Amino acid sequence: MTRTWLLAFGCVAIAIAVLGARPLQTPGPLARDFEAYWAAGDAWNLHADPYGRAVWNAERTIAGVDAKRDELLPFVGPPATLLLWSVAARMPYAVATRLWWAVLGLSTLALAAAAMRGSGKPIGPFSFAAAVVLAIAFAPITSDWALGQLALPAFVGAVLLTVLAERSMPLASAGACLAFTQPNAAIGLVSQIGRNRATMAIVIGGSIAYALGVLDAGWGWPLNYSRVVLAHGDAERFIAIQLSPAAIAFGFGATPREAAIVALVLAMLAVAAALALAFAVREPFARFAGFSALAPFVAGFFHEHDLVVAYAAALWCALRTRGMVRTIALTGTLLVGCDWLGLAQRPTGVAQSLFLTIAAFTAFVALDESANVRAAMPIALAVAALFVGAALLATHHPVPVWPDTLGAFHAPQKATAAAVWLAEQRASGLLAAVPAWAMLRSLSLLGCGLLAYAIYRHSAYCRTA
């Protein structure tokens, strides 16, 4: 009965968050990141460069975009995705967006089901409902929906490969191909190398992704695409919406060189932690979940929506951990499951974030058969106090939101798309080094680290028990 009430309370919290505590709507089109996908497809259909400034020709026609200034949103997705975006661009933007949201909704259900299967627990109506509630309340997934991000379906692909490698090579290979559409989502697949069928699926999926890229960009596309990614990475390396260690260190006041050193050290520590996980964790899915949770420390380019990769670890821990390890896992889930920087970006959305965090807490507790609310309450109270402090800090140090603060920005005519993007971030005020913003972002990374540690501790204990 306690579990039922917890799940019901979580559903009510989500309903309040979505229907009664929504932040004030900001100017701009629906699904802001999908704007770049759709525009890239339009540019490709017109035989223009989807990685250049040609995407602005389509973006400026979208309702909500201010065509009187330059607010170019570059496209940096792999060439293999252009076939999909080409189809989307043949529809009106509003129609394509709603169809894409339907895909994201189905992806959320598929992610919850696949991650439950990987966690080794039977999928019953109650447990599946709780897993879905946890997904809906999980801020990175909420961000994927709001922005129309490809990261969510891509991570579903990575999870499917891990779960289906021993059952269906075609489906596992398709999962790998889907995962490669968003490289950050595929980092956790490194943990599966050594499993013969999983390794084969990764190779096949990668080959399909390469072949699709050849259709769009020629045989040498990996080299050309790497140049695009590096240029865009350089442009966005230290902006406030980056959750990478380098960007956070820069926000605390480190010089670019010092920030790079911090990022390198943390990346090396993350690799060492991954090796420890590889030796301690026997279960393929648990190993994948732990590696995925460590991805933000090595990726070098990570946004809030990319933290969807931590969902697998959060759900695995909700289903499998006990005792002190469960306390650590719950803390990590709530830290990574809340959009801390979003508190400063959308001050009117603080109440919504609070209710979603409450829903994540109730779903996590309900996923354990014992549903020990008393043991979880100290963490709930501690995170509540942290939330209040973070909200106050965010209110006093608001983060400017692109492109609302661009003013009458116009980029140099001959500048590349990456150069324009850098100029936009500078004009928006997102290149400022503000310790308060860095502090908020670091909470999300701390949550990722705690989830990876919880998986390691649980597996290490089981091996010695």
Structure tokens at 110: 């598929």
Question: Can you count the helices (H) and strands (E) in the chain?
Answer: 23, 0
Determine the residue type at 448.
Answer: C
Contact (Cβ atoms closer than 8 angstroms) between residue 310 and residue 451: yes
Crossing angle for the helix pair 435-464 and 311-320, to the nearest 10 degrees = 40
Cα distances (angstroms) measured from residue 50 to each of 40, 41, 42, 237, 277: 5, 7, 8, 22, 40
Structure tokens at 53: 């400034």
Name the 3-class secondary structure at 27: coil
Residue with tokens 């301690």: 280
pLDDT score at 329: 98
With a threshold of 0.75, does the pTM exceed it? yes
Determine the residue type at 328.
Answer: I
Burial letters 74-86, b for 16+ CB under 10 A, else e: bbbbbbbbbebbb
pLDDT score at 2: 86
**How many whole angstroms separate alpha carbon 346 and alpha carbon 410?**
26
Dihedrals phi, psi of 408, to nearest 5 degrees: -100, 50
pLDDT score at 195: 92
**How many whole angstroms separate alpha carbon 181 and alpha carbon 202?**
13
How many structural domains does the chain have?
1
Structure tokens at 168: 């269906």
Dihedrals phi, psi of 146, to nearest 5 degrees: -60, -35
Report if residue 323 sits inside a domain. yes
Express each pLDDT in 349-382 by its tens digit.
Answer: 999 999 999 999 999 999 998 888 999 999 999 9
**How many whole angstroms separate alpha carbon 407 and alpha carbon 198?**
50
Report if residue 25 sits inside a domain. no
Low-confidence stretches of the chain (pLDDT beneath 50): none
CA torsion, ordered 33, 39, 40, 44, to nearest 10 deg? 170
Report if residue 356 sits inside a domain. yes
Report if residue 300 sits inside a domain. yes
Report if residue 24 sits inside a domain. no
pLDDT score at 285: 97
Q: Which domain holds residue 285?
A: 2-16+30-464
Contact (Cβ atoms closer than 8 angstroms) between residue 180 and residue 78: yes
Report if residue 23 sits inside a domain. no
pLDDT score at 463: 60
Specify the DSSP class assigned to residue 92.
Answer: -
Structure tokens at 222: 């990996």
DSSP-assigned letters across all residues of 108-173: HHHHHHHHHHHTT----HHHHHHHHHHHHH-HHHHHHHHHT-THHHHHHHHHHHHHHTTT-HHHHH
Residues near 231 by beta carbon (within 8 Å), at least 6 away in sequence: 416, 418
pLDDT score at 338: 97
Crossing angle for the helix pair 93-118 and 32-45, to the nearest 10 degrees = 120
